[in-house]
Amino acid sequence: MATTLSSGAQEPKRQRGHLRVAAIMEAGVAVFTEKGYDAATMTEIAARSSTAIGSLYRFFPSKESLADALLSRYVQHTTSGFATLADQAPAMTPHQLADAFVDFMASLHSQRSLAVALVDARGGSDERRARFRETMRGGIATILRNAIPHLAKAQSETMAVVLLHVLKAVAGAGEEKPAARRKLLAEIRKLVRVYLEAAQNDTD
Amino acid sequence: MATTLSSGAQEPKRQRGHLRVAAIMEAGVAVFTEKGYDAATMTEIAARSSTAIGSLYRFFPSKESLADALLSRYVQHTTSGFATLADQAPAMTPHQLADAFVDFMASLHSQRSLAVALVDARGGSDERRARFRETMRGGIATILRNAIPHLAKAQSETMAVVLLHVLKAVAGAGEEKPAARRKLLAEIRKLVRVYLEAAQNDTD
Amino acid sequence: MATTLSSGAQEPKRQRGHLRVAAIMEAGVAVFTEKGYDAATMTEIAARSSTAIGSLYRFFPSKESLADALLSRYVQHTTSGFATLADQAPAMTPHQLADAFVDFMASLHSQRSLAVALVDARGGSDERRARFRETMRGGIATILRNAIPHLAKAQSETMAVVLLHVLKAVAGAGEEKPAARRKLLAEIRKLVRVYLEAAQNDTD
Amino acid sequence: MATTLSSGAQEPKRQRGHLRVAAIMEAGVAVFTEKGYDAATMTEIAARSSTAIGSLYRFFPSKESLADALLSRYVQHTTSGFATLADQAPAMTPHQLADAFVDFMASLHSQRSLAVALVDARGGSDERRARFRETMRGGIATILRNAIPHLAKAQSETMAVVLLHVLKAVAGAGEEKPAARRKLLAEIRKLVRVYLEAAQNDTD
DNA sequence: AATGAATGAGCCTTCATTCAT
DNA sequence: GATGAATGAAGGCTCATTCAT
């Protein structure tokens, strides 16, 4: 299993280093999520992970490389989740699939907010943003075709774009108070459900 | 109430002041949209509006105050649009309402990107963000209740949250190529439609 | 007469600004000369010219741009000095020319040390270094051909390279104690003299 | 003086230590020459010699100490070369001596660039620079007195300063293209020759 | 009132050097 | 003794904001 460190970073070679890297990444998640990419400062990330600024830069040679690593980790989580969903999709009704989608996004939890901070906001390179989106869309489109066999490829891709957007709302739900949150999730479930059912009916 | 005498002397100045402010706001829209709140610089906004930096600060005493002004203007646009929709809603079918929603969001066009830059991204004060969202949600909830008479207030508010999120996708569609854009808009229309129809059926 | 500010710098537009620029340049000369390009810090240059660091960067948007401006000024001094020498050269004996060369270099005084710090040392872009040398060599070669009519162009250029190097020693003499300095200058005069006389005899 | 017993156990380690030191010094020469003293980093020198940074600091407790060691080695090379020249000088004509000087400097070749990086550029302590120069000047002065018997001590020292400077041009010639390089070296030979001949005539 | 020069906190990043393993 | 992680001062540079002219 490759490390999450990417481009140019020094891989830690000792136990201590791995712990440090983990602490930095967690602090990075927190700060980027709270402040957004631009407003986050490396100094604060270092402080929150009790790391000297120089040590932070040993493992992540730039602010962007830290963001990259964080995003990569998120992409891996998501990709493998999508792969699982794709396997189960053929046996699912649209209703079940809708729930599965929402449950999965809800499980990503705080990480979604991070992705928003790093991808949707300015500051990240356009290329990375584009690649990230393509990955997400592709994963969803595949799931859709597995669940709704007669769905045309083009149509599945358009739907994926829409669905991906809708599912982002699940992350947003995290900011609401528990009661409102629950209601909101139920409503999103419903939205996805009627959408998927309509799609299935169209293809029949 | 001022006499024509004194107002005559002041008019040119006021006139110029208004032009200045307008120029600054336009430049602000452009720069915030292109770069995002954090990366935008007051110096560039001043330059693009051919305004001395000192003059810019005379009218808008801080970067945040400029962003506030821009956001307020956007809120007013939207609010009045929502008011119109609310008037027409009672006579609309869910299908028509869905189209009306999407058309309206599409008409906001570039302004949406600005709102994203100023609200969704970090950098703006939390307070402002909250107020902004409340306004948007309230407007949509009212429209929904006008169109679907038996809708409970609580339910209309939950739906508004969901719907607002979905409609944001319309702004995102602006980044796609024309062909994909058209398909995407059609798909969003469909999503909103089935959602609204389901809501109406629930209340019957 | 164009300002000495180059690439990207904001030209001062007020009296105050010009004074500031002059103060910065003087401080730049001092610090670069004392420490060399790399070891010189913009902070120190700012402090020595009683300038806020931000103001320094207003006029010289990078460390390199300041070095460029300083070097340009030196090149202009030198170029015009060479032009004068070139005019007088036809009427001079090699002996007189040798003295004129040394006197001229001695008059450049401290500025020579600056050029060494900015050109001969690492840190400056290679391109700038190359252009600078070409200018100096060309000037000397022209003077030589004016003073020694029958000198072939190629030969004058080779001699210019050698002569330029020798004349740099005049700058180095500045570091010696006055007594040693005087002897050294006399010796360099002699060296240049015998070299130029030999060159003239060769062409006869 | 150690017994062969104990020294036998240590030998392999010493051997390895020597190799290490040699590797570090070679890397140091390369990096200092390429980048100059300031821009060279201990980390790169460690990497190029396949040495852990901690080990590098075991042998050379500071960047300056490494530079010192390198410079000392160069001084030794030069000193012994000068000693040889001093032995041969009594039997040489000024013409031959000029060639011998130039040939010797040319033989130092790349090492000269290192010396420039470490001595002429700022960054080295003034003390070291002064000592280095004194050594070089003393060596040349001795050679001159051996070759030109009646030369006064003071005069020989002044000439040594001049000559040392001129001979540095030989190192600079290394940067020219081969053809230009050859011409340049020939020209420097001529310069040194006429200078030495003039000196001899003066003393007669 | 308009202009633009001045200010300085703070950002990202580098690197010589030390120290725990 | 070797290794490489840790440290933190310092550097170049930006930009929101203020103030003198």
Contact B20, B59 (CB under 8 A): yes
Q: Which residues contact D128 (CB under 8 A, 6 or more apart)?
A: D68, D71, D119
Tell whether B55 and B95 lie within a shared domain.
no
Q: What does R_g of chain B's alpha carbons equal in angstroms?
A: 20
CATH number at residue D181: 1.10.357
For residue B167, give the amino acid letter: L
Return the structure tokens found at C132: 């600078």
Distance, angstroms, CA A54 to C1' F7? Answer: 7
All residues of chain A having their beta carbon less than 8 Å from the beta carbon of residue B169 are 162, 165-166
pLDDT at D82: 95
The residue that leads in pLDDT, D72 or D2, is D72
User: In this complex, which of B121, B169, B195 lies closest to A121 when CB atoms are compared?
Assistant: B121
Contact A175, B150 (CB under 8 A): no
Would you list the DSSP string of B115-184? HIIIIISBTB-HHHHHHHHHHHHHHHHHHHHHHSTT--HHHHHHHHHHHHHHHHHHHHGGGS-HHHHHHH
Render pLDDT for A142-152 as a digit per residue (tens, 0 to 9).
999 999 999 99
Judged by C1' against the alpha carbon of B53, the nearest nucleotide is E4
Tell whether D57 and D95 lie within a shared domain.
no
CA-nearest of B25, B132, B21, B124 to B72 is B132
Q: Which residues of chain C have pLDDT under 70?
A: 1-17, 121-125, 203-204
Return the structure tokens found at C65: 């741009």
CA distance linking residue C90 with residue C84, whole number of Å: 11
Q: Which residues contact B98 (CB under 8 A, 6 or more apart)?
A: B189, B192, B193, B195, B196
**From D117, which residue of chain C is nearest by alpha-carbon distance?**
C121
Judged by CB atoms closer than 8 Å, whether chains meet at C121 and D36 is answered as: yes
Burial of B27 (0-12, 13-18, 19+ CB in 10 A): buried
Tell whether D121 and D146 lie within a shared domain.
yes
Judged by CB atoms closer than 8 Å, whether chains meet at C159 and D187 is answered as: yes
Contact A119, A129 (CB under 8 A): yes
Q: What does R_g of chain A's alpha carbons equal in angstroms?
A: 19
Tell whether C109 and C55 lie within a shared domain.
no
CATH number at residue A179: 1.10.357.10
Would you list the DSSP string of C103-165? HHHHHHTHHHHHHIIIIISTTS-HHHHHHHHHHHHHHHHHHHHHHSTT--HHHHHHHHHHHHH
Whose CA is nearest the C1' atom of nucleotide F1? D55
CA-nearest of A114, A170, A161, A162 to B162 is A170
CA–CA min distance A184, chain B (Å)? 6
Whole-number average pLDDT of chain A: 87
Distance, angstroms, CA C54 to C1' F14? Answer: 9
Contact D39, D61 (CB under 8 A): no
CA distance linking residue D1 with residue A17, whole number of Å: 46
The answer to whether residue C171 sits within a structural domain is yes
CA distance linking residue D9 with residue A115, whole number of Å: 60
Reported as a pLDDT band with limits 50, 70 and 90, residue B44 is: very high
CA distance linking residue C28 with residue C87, whole number of Å: 33
Tell whether B54 and B27 lie within a shared domain.
yes
User: In this complex, which of D117, D165, D190 lies closest to C198 when CB atoms are compared?
Assistant: D190
User: In this complex, which of C34, C162, C169 lies closest to D162 when CB atoms are compared?
Assistant: C169
Q: Is the pLDDT of residue D124 over 80?
A: no
CA distance linking residue B100 with residue B95, whole number of Å: 9
Contact D144, D151 (CB under 8 A): yes
Cα dihedral across residues C134, C140, C143, C144: positive or negative: negative
SS3 D124: strand
All residues of chain D having their beta carbon less than 8 Å from the beta carbon of residue C38 are 36, 38-39, 122-123
Tell whether B52 and B109 lie within a shared domain.
no
Tell whether B138 and B86 lie within a shared domain.
yes
Whose CA is nearest the C1' atom of nucleotide E6? C55
Domain count, chain A: 2
The answer to whether residue A77 sits within a structural domain is yes
CA distance linking residue A137 with residue D79, whole number of Å: 73
Whose CA is nearest the C1' atom of nucleotide F17? B62
What's the average model confidence in pLDDT over A6-25? Answer: 70
The answer to whether residue A51 sits within a structural domain is yes
Size of chain A in residues: 204
Distance, angstroms, CA C123 to C1' F3? Answer: 33
Tell whether A57 and A72 lie within a shared domain.
no
pLDDT at A171: 82
What's the average model confidence in pLDDT over D29-38? Answer: 92
Element spanning D76, H or E: helix D63-88
**Range in B40-44, B108-112, D32-36, D50-54 with the lowest mean pLDDT:** B108-112
CA distance linking residue B27 with residue B42, whole number of Å: 10
Percent of all residues in chain A with a pLDDT value above 70, rounded to a whole number = 87
Please report the residues numbered 85 through 104 in chain B whose beta carbons come closer than 8 angstroms to any beta carbon of chain A. none
Whole-number average pLDDT of chain D: 87
Interface probe, candidates C38, C122, C134, chain D, greatest D C-beta count within 10 A: C122
Reported as a pLDDT band with limits 50, 70 and 90, residue D10 is: very low
User: In this complex, which of C165, C168, C191 lies closest to D195 when CB atoms are compared?
Assistant: C191
The answer to whether residue A8 sits within a structural domain is no
Domain boundary pick from B19, B38, B61: B61
Four-point Cα dihedral B91, B93, B95, B100, nearest 10 = 10
CA distance linking residue A109 with residue A116, whole number of Å: 12
pLDDT at B8: 37
**From C37, which residue of chain D is nearest by alpha-carbon distance?**
D122
Size of chain C in residues: 204
pLDDT at B3: 36
CA–CA min distance C85, chain D (Å)? 22
Q: Helices D178-203 and C178-203, interaxial angle, to 10°?
A: 110
Whose CA is nearest the C1' atom of nucleotide E17? D62
Please report the residues numbered 2 through 41 in chain B whose beta carbons come closer than 8 angstroms to any beta carbon of chain A. 35-36, 38-39
Contact A176, B176 (CB under 8 A): no
pLDDT at B5: 35
Longest dimension (CA), chain B: 65
Domain boundary pick from D27, D61, D95: D61
All residues of chain C having their beta carbon less than 8 Å from the beta carbon of residue D165 are 165-166, 168-169, 172
Percent of all residues in chain B with a pLDDT value above 70, rounded to a whole number = 88
**From C197, which residue of chain D is nearest by alpha-carbon distance?**
D194
A175 phi, psi to nearest 5 deg: -85, -10
D86 phi, psi to nearest 5 deg: -60, -35
Q: Is the pLDDT of residue D40 over 80?
A: yes
What's the average model confidence in pLDDT over D83-104? Answer: 95
Q: Is the pLDDT of residue B94 over 60?
A: yes
CA distance linking residue A82 with residue A146, whole number of Å: 12
Q: Which residues contact C125 (CB under 8 A, 6 or more apart)?
A: C64
User: In this complex, which of D158, D172, D190 lies closest to C184 when CB atoms are compared?
Assistant: D158
Tell whether D116 and D183 lie within a shared domain.
yes
Judged by CB atoms closer than 8 Å, whether chains meet at B162 and A187 is answered as: yes
Residue C174: left if φ>0, alpha if ψ -120 to 50, beta else—which one? alpha
Render pLDDT for D125-174 as a digit per residue (tens, 0 to 9).
677 788 888 999 999 999 999 999 999 999 999 999 999 999 999 988 87
CA distance linking residue C48 with residue A79, whole number of Å: 58
CA distance linking residue D192 with residue D144, whole number of Å: 12
What's the average model confidence in pLDDT over A26-30? Answer: 94
For residue C27, give the amino acid letter: A
Look-up of token digits 């604060």:
A44
CA–CA min distance D11, chain C (Å)? 41
**Range in A66-75, C103-112, D10-19, D93-102 with the lowest mean pLDDT:** D10-19
Reported as a pLDDT band with limits 50, 70 and 90, residue B2 is: very low
Whose CA is nearest the C1' atom of nucleotide F6? A55
**From B165, which residue of chain A is nearest by alpha-carbon distance?**
A169
Look-up of token digits 């040889």:
D84
Judged by CB atoms closer than 8 Å, whether chains meet at B122 and A159 is answered as: no
Whose CA is nearest the C1' atom of nucleotide F14? C54
Q: Is the pLDDT of residue A16 over 80?
A: no
Tell whether B121 and B180 lie within a shared domain.
yes
Judged by CB atoms closer than 8 Å, whether chains meet at B198 and A195 is answered as: no
CA-nearest of C40, C4, C43 to C117 is C40
pLDDT at A11: 66
The answer to whether residue A122 sits within a structural domain is yes
Interface probe, candidates A185, A187, A188, A192, chain B, greatest B C-beta count within 10 A: A187
All residues of chain A having their beta carbon less than 8 Å from the beta carbon of residue B195 are 190-191, 194-195
C182 touches chain D (CB under 8 A): no
All residues of chain B having their beta carbon less than 8 Å from the beta carbon of residue A187 are 158-159, 161-162
Q: Is the pLDDT of residue A186 over 60?
A: yes
What's the average model confidence in pLDDT over A37-59? Answer: 94
Render pLDDT for A101-140 as a digit per residue (tens, 0 to 9).
999 998 887 777 788 788 876 656 677 788 888 999 999 9
Look-up of token digits 């720069």:
B31
**From C188, which residue of chain D is nearest by alpha-carbon distance?**
D162
The residue that leads in pLDDT, D138 or B128, is D138
B92 phi, psi to nearest 5 deg: -105, 150
Look-up of token digits 């060309």:
C138
**Per-position b or e across C111-124, b if 16+ CB within 10 A of its CB:** bbbbbbbbbbbbbb
CA distance linking residue C48 with residue C33, whole number of Å: 14
Contact: chain A with chain B (3+ CB pairs below 8 Å) = yes
Tell whether D3 and D98 lie within a shared domain.
no
Domain boundary pick from D61, D91, D111: D61
The answer to whether residue A199 sits within a structural domain is yes
Domain range spanning residue C38? Answer: 15-61
Q: Is the pLDDT of residue B4 over 60?
A: no
CA–CA distances in Å: residue D97 to residues D91, D143, D186: 9, 9, 14
Q: Within 10 A of A97 (CB to CB), how many other CB atoms are there?
A: 24
C118 phi, psi to nearest 5 deg: -90, -25
pLDDT at C12: 63
A182 touches chain B (CB under 8 A): no
Q: CA angle C120-C124-C126, nearest 5°?
A: 85
Contact B128, B69 (CB under 8 A): no
Judged by C1' against the alpha carbon of A39, the nearest nucleotide is E11
The answer to whether residue C2 sits within a structural domain is no
Element spanning B87, H or E: helix B63-88
Judged by CB atoms closer than 8 Å, whether chains meet at A162 and B184 is answered as: yes
Return the structure tokens found at B117: 């830059």
CA–CA min distance B36, chain A (Å)? 6
Tell whether D74 and D172 lie within a shared domain.
yes
**Range in A17-21, A76-80, D119-123 with the lowest mean pLDDT:** D119-123
A124 phi, psi to nearest 5 deg: -80, 155
Reported as a pLDDT band with limits 50, 70 and 90, residue D3 is: very low
All residues of chain C having their beta carbon less than 8 Å from the beta carbon of residue D123 are 36, 38-39
C37 phi, psi to nearest 5 deg: -60, -55
User: In this complex, which of A162, A172, A191 lies closest to B169 when CB atoms are compared?
Assistant: A162
Number of helices (H) and strands (E) in chain A: give both, helices first.
Answer: 9, 0
**From D183, which residue of chain C is nearest by alpha-carbon distance?**
C158
Judged by C1' against the alpha carbon of A17, the nearest nucleotide is F5
